[in-house]
Amino acid sequence: MPCYTVQTASVELNNVDHATLAKAMEKIGYTVLRQGKNFTFRKGGVSGSYQNNKLNMQATGGARMDTDAVKVAVSEQIIADKAAEYADQGWEHTMDGDEHVFTKTAGYGAVFA
């Protein structure tokens, strides 16, 4: 692709929390500047913004937008957030190959008389 080409992508994200998306973008190396529920981001020649549930990305100078990496990072962040939430309720998160397993800790919340 010629270096003067600009790639753009725009995606409606109605089911993703802005904080989860921002954390996921940071984990894959983007610099994120938060402004309330909106944010801008940059990594190499890729930049963009998230406003009103819409993610806009653009790549310049031959940079490549890796939207698949963003999708994977968001999925991983959702699992990490849920694992932390469930841990507070006595659940343990482990992996069985590619499967995520949540197991209730024995005796958690037990009341003894």
pLDDT reported for residue 64 = 86
Residues 22 and 13: beta-carbon distance below 8 Å: no
Domains along the chain with CATH numbers: 7-103 (3.30.310)
Q: Give this prediction's pTM.
A: 0.78
- Over 80: is that where the pLDDT of 1 sits? no
Q: What is the C-alpha to C-alpha distance for residues 84 and 57, in angstroms, rounded to an integer?
A: 30
42-60 pLDDT per residue, tens: 999 999 999 999 999 999 8
59-113 pLDDT per residue, tens: 988 888 888 899 999 999 999 999 999 888 888 888 889 888 888 876 655 444 4
- Over 80: is that where the pLDDT of 21 sits? yes
pLDDT reported for residue 112 = 45
Q: What is the C-alpha to C-alpha distance for residues 59 and 41, in angstroms, rounded to an integer?
A: 12
- The helix/strand/coil state of 19 is helix
pLDDT reported for residue 107 = 62
Which residues touch 60 (CB under 8 Å, ≥6 apart)?
6, 45
pLDDT reported for residue 12 = 87
